[in-house]
Amino acid sequence: MLSEIKDITESLFPRLIKIRRHLHSHPELSGQEYQTAAYVADVLSSCGIQVQENFGKTGVVGNLNGNGTDTRLLAIRIDMDALPIDELTDLEFASCKPGIMHACGHDVHTTVGLGTAMVLSQLAERLPGNIRFLFQPAEEIAQGASWMLRDGAMHNVNAIFGLHVFPSLQARSVGIRYGTLTAAADDIEIFIQGESGHGARPHKAIDAIWIASQVITTLQQAISRTQNPLHPVVLTIGQINGGHAPNIIADQVRMSGTVRSLHPDTHANLPQWIEEIVANVCNPYRAKYEIDYRRRVPSVQNNIELTRILESTCREAWGNEYLHILSEPSLGAEDFSLYLEHAPGSMFRLGVGFPPDKPNYPLHHSQFEIDESAILTGVITLAYAAYKYHQYFI
Ligand SMILES: [Zn+2]
Ligand SMILES: [Zn+2]
């Protein structure tokens, strides 16, 4: 099966490059993936795959039936949205839309997903079970997965695979990780209510700016003294507003930030922990506070068995040299984790980096580029892993 998958993918490669370049030059922002979704639906239909459009707002679902030997359903998740960035590459297929760019490689993901659908549809009679392709919108704003889930994306799904491009690894390589891959990311807003007064008479006021500074300092110190250092927490206050004039004590401060963590238990306890610290700082000085803690996405916890399938896929397809067992998780976040609340899954990193003599820009950079040979690696890895999943338990 592996050699058939490789042969078909190689014969499709020129078409896949065209698809990727078309998608790259026509990026669409989160929640506005209308043309991309129509394009995806067209390609899927042309492979004989049953398509549901307007799924999860601007998402597309494709259902591919295997030969029925295995009754389990495998989902493959692909994200399609681009970023509000002005593209500064000199590619001939650079974005034709000012201020919008595929700088996170979701054009590559979409191409790899379509390529996988094309390859597996040609081999459907030998594919033991069914596959559901989830082309989701709005990953960059961490909402697309919940839109897809609300429309039943994971209904009857037994397992799910996903991928993300990874410029730190050279093209042809694949990175996998057992357990934690990415962090939980939440939003926090803290409002401090003091009492204004004359800058010369602090004892007759409640200084919200000074209290806010204590809150920030105490939170950062408390991380190092009360959180398990093996279960990292990163709290970044990225925005702070308050005060009216240099000689007036501020009555209000509003600050907002992001809270990242890796361990699910730590993640579960963060709102209560933050509330206790803020209360302990504010109460002695009679300041009032409000905390708006919004959970966005949990951490991606890759399932061991499914990661093992990815590992053996890569060892067989690419040899040990191109397989990287990643030693560290990322404190970045992925809404792929929301699907994992419904079924086990595993997400891999697709190397897209150039050899060291060419610059490699990070994700979300206005000059981000990929080595297109990675598309071949992505399709073969995903298609063969899907086949192996259905083979595995038979
Ligand atoms: Zn991104
Ligand atoms: Zn991304």
pLDDT one-digit tens code per residue, 263-275: 999 999 999 999 9
Ramachandran category for residue 105: left, alpha or beta (phi over 0 → left; psi -120 to 50 → alpha): left
Ligand closest in space to the Cα of 110 = 2
The C-alpha angle with vertex 196 and arms to 191 and 199, in degrees rounded to 5, equals: 120
| CA separation for the pair 173, 257 (Å, rounded) | 35
pLDDT at 17 > cutoff 90: yes
pLDDT on residue 392: 78
- Domain boundaries of the chain, sorted by first residue: 2-182+299-392, 184-297
- Distance of CA 279 from the midpoint of ligand 2 (Å): 37
- Distance of CA 82 from the midpoint of ligand 2 (Å): 8
| CA separation for the pair 153, 142 (Å, rounded) | 16
Q: Is 190 helix (H, G, I), strand (E, B) or coil?
A: strand
How many angstroms from the chain centroid is the CA of residue 234? 18
pLDDT at 295 > cutoff 80: yes
Average of per-residue pLDDT values in the chain: 97
pLDDT on residue 52: 98
CATH number of 2-182+299-392: 3.40.630.10
- Distance of CA 105 from the midpoint of ligand 2 (Å): 6
pLDDT on residue 393: 65
pLDDT at 106 > cutoff 80: yes
Which residues lie closer than 8 Å to 6 by C-beta, 6 or more apart?
A: 317, 380
pTM of the model: 0.92
CB count within 10 Å of CB 240 equals 16
pLDDT at 394 > cutoff 60: no
Q: Residue type at 297? A: V
- Hey, which residues are catalytic here? 81, 139
Ligand closest in space to the Cα of 364 = 1
- Helix, strand, coil % (nearest 5) of the chain? 40, 30, 35
- Distance of CA 140 from the midpoint of ligand 1 (Å): 5
Q: Tell me the average pLDDT across 10-38.
A: 98
Return the CATH fold of 184-297: Alpha-Beta Plaits (3.30.70)
Positive or negative torsion for Cα 23, 58, 296, 261: negative
**215-235 pLDDT per residue, tens:** 999 999 999 999 999 999 999
pLDDT at 257 > cutoff 90: yes
